[in-house]
Amino acid sequence: MSKRLLVIDDELDIREVVCLSLEEFGGWQTEGAGSGQEGLKQAKSAPWDAILLDISMPDMDGFAVLNQLQANPETRSMPVILLTAKTLPSDLGHFTQMGVAGVIPKPFDPLKVWQQVAVLLGWPH
């Protein structure tokens, strides 16, 4: 059965590119959410195999979304991969302590982003 992934990013262009890459090259099903609130709502609505989460978002940033995902028993077990343009060493050190499955820095290679996700989650690739 095909994997289902939720992509939460306020940048529509990036959301489109990520979803298209994962669908076309990974063969997975994707859905996008344009804000943190929308992402949380969608995350609770159905079981997801993984969530790709942007950090810099208006209203509710990626950290707040991650906290709420981890606080909710329904979504706690869903692996979260951070998709972020914050790539300073201090940022990366901070991310690894947050209990996420991994971090994919922007910009990424659209042909390989699915493989990066698969490697981080231990899926066949």
Partner 1 sequence: MKFSLRTLLVLPFLLQVVGLTSLVGYLSYRSGQRAVDTLANRLMVENSSRIDQSLERYFQTPITITEAHQTAIRLGILDWQNQALFNTYFVEQLAANPDISGLMIATEDRDFLAVGRDQPNQLVIRSRNPQTGAQESYIADLKGNPLSQQEVRTNFDPHFTPPADPWYQAVKANQSGFWQPTVSWVRGSNQPLLMMAYFLPIVDGQGQFRGVLSSSLFLDQTGEFLRQLQADDVGQSFIIDGQGHLIATSTREQPFRPSLSPSSLKSLNPQDWRFLAQESQDPITRIAAPLALEQLQKLTEPGGKIFQFQALGQRYFAQVMPFSAESQLNWVTVVVMPASDFMVDIYANILRTVLLCALALGGSIGLGIWTAEYITKPIFSLNRATQALTDGRAVVPPTQPSHIVEVEALRLGFDQMVAQLVTSFRALGEREKTLRTFLNGVPVAISVHNRAGQILFLNQKGKDLLDLTQTDGKDPTAKLSTTSDQIAETFQLYVAGTDQLYPTDQLPVVRGLRGETISLDNLEVKTETGRVPLEVHTIPVLDGNGQVMYAINTFQDISERRQAERLQNNYELELVQRVAEQTASLTQSEATKQALINAMPDLLMRVGREGVPLEIYNLDTVAGSGSLTQSVDRYYRLTHLPGPIARERRRCVQLALATRTLQRQEYEFTHNGQFYCEEARIIPVTQDEALVVVRDISERRQINRLKDEFIAIVSHELRTPLTAIRGSLGILESGVLQDRPYKAKHMLQMALSNTERLIRLVNDILDLERLESGQVVLTKESCHVEDLLRLALNSVDAIALAAQVTLHIQPLEALVWATPDSIVQVLTNLLGNAIKFSLPGGQVWLRAKLWEGQTSWPQARYPEAGRPSVQGARPLVPCVVFSVKDQGRGIPEDRLEAIFDRFQQVDVSDSRQKGGTGLGLAICKSIVTEHSGEIWVESQVGEGSVFYFTLPVKKL
Given the rule CB under 8 A, which residues bind partner 1? 10-11, 13-14, 16-18, 20-21, 24-25, 56-58, 85-88, 91, 105-111
The distance of closest approach from Cβ of residue 86 to partner 1 in the complex, given in angstroms and rounded to an integer, is: 6
Q: 21 or 30, CB closer to partner 1?
A: 21
Question: From the CB of residue 18, how many other CB atoms can be counted at a distance below 10 Å?
Answer: 26
CA–CA separation, 64 and 120 (whole Å) = 22
Q: 75 or 84, CB closer to partner 1?
A: 84
Strand duo 102-105 + 29-33: pairing: unpaired
Q: 49 or 61, CB closer to partner 1?
A: 61
Residue 104 DSSP SS3: strand
